[in-house]
């Protein structure tokens, strides 16, 4: 299974690998959500949705359905 931002644990960090561009708004990319950048999950609202992330220094909240389209790789 491909790992996405939606699979991160609270506090966990990862590197963005790829983004399913048709399902992710340009605005998110402009805020620094781009391949190669680091993403960290900071907080979760109840039911793990929305997700409060830090990507490339931007603190953002996105919905789980969007997070599912941001592929990541975790340093193993």
Partner 1 sequence: MAKQLNVALIGNPNTGKTSVFNHLTGLNQQVGNYPGITVEKKEGICKLARGVKAHILDLPGTYSLNASSLDENVVIELLLNKKDKDFPDVAVVISDVENLKRNLLLFTQIKDLGIPTILAINMADRMKRKAISLDIPKMEEHLNTKIALISSRKNQGIDYLKQLISDYKTISTKPCVNASVIAPEYFDRLRKAFPNQDLYKLWLVITQDVNFGKVERNEMKTIASFKTESVSNLKRLQQKETIIRYKFINDVLKETLTIDTANAKDLRTRLDRILTHKVWGYVIFFAILMLIFQVIYNWSQYPMDFIDASFASLSEWVKDTLPSGALTSLIAEGIIAGLGGIVIFIPQIAFLFLFISILEESGYMSRVVFLMDRVMRRFGLSGKSVVPLVSGTACAIPAVMATRNIESWKERLITILVTPFTTCSARLPVYLIIISLVIPDEKFLFFNLQGLTLMLLYLLGFGTAIGSAWLLNKILKIKSKSFFVIEMPNYKLPLFKNVAINVLEKTKSFVVDAGKIILAISIVLWVLASYGPTKEFSNAEAIVTAQMEEGAFAKADLEKQIASYRLEKSYIGHLGKFIEPAVEPLGYDWKIGIALITSFAAREVFVGTLATIYSVGDDEEETIKKRMAQEVHADSGKPRFNFASGLSLLLFYAFAMQCMSTLAIVKRETNSWKWPMLQLGVMSGFAYLVALVAYQVFK
In the complex, the residues that contact partner 1 under the rule CB under 8 A are 21-32, 34, 42-47, 49-50, 52, 56-63, 65-66
- Compare residues 12 and 30 and give the one whose CB is closer to partner 1: 30
- Compare residues 43 and 74 and give the one whose CB is closer to partner 1: 43
Q: Are 53 and 41 in contact (CB under 8 A)?
A: yes
- Please report how close the Cβ of residue 6 comes to partner 1 at its closest, in angstroms: 14
How many Å apart are CA 63 and CA 68, to the nearest integer?
9
How many Å apart are CA 38 and CA 74, to the nearest integer?
10
């Amino acid at each position: 299974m491909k790992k996405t931002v939606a699979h991160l644990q609270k506090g966990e960090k990862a590197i963005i690998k790829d983004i399913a561009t048709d399902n992710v708004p340009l605005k998110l990319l402009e805020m620094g959500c781009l391949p190669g950048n680091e993403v960290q999950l900071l907080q979760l609202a109840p039911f793990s949705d929305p997700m409060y992330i830090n990507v490339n220094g931007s603190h953002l909240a996105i919905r789980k359905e969007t997070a599912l389209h941001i592929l990541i790789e975790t340093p193993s």
